[in-house]
Amino acid sequence: MIRIIVDGHLKSSQAKAWCHENIGKDWWKDETDGLWSWQVGKDLTTEFHFKNEQDAVLFALRWA
């Protein structure tokens, strides 16, 4: 799993929408068929997790 951190609530909301449109289904809790997930930190950052390196690279080029 690859993780990338995004700063700011608005930016992370836009990044989540981008992931749904460009990567596909996310996984949450017990679901395992999604390709990505996210977790909000206490410091207004959002940590995105990706199963595939290619998806993480595309995300990083756009959002990191």
- What is the domain partition of the chain in residue ranges? 2-24+36-63
Give the pLDDT band (50/70/90) at residue 64: confident
Q: Are 50 and 59 in contact (CB under 8 A)?
A: yes
pTM of the model: 0.87
Residue 13 C-alpha from the chain's centroid: 10
Task: Give 6's strand partners.
Answer: 46
Is the pLDDT score of 56 beyond 90?
yes
pLDDT reported for residue 57: 97
pLDDT in tens, 9-25: 889 999 999 999 999 98
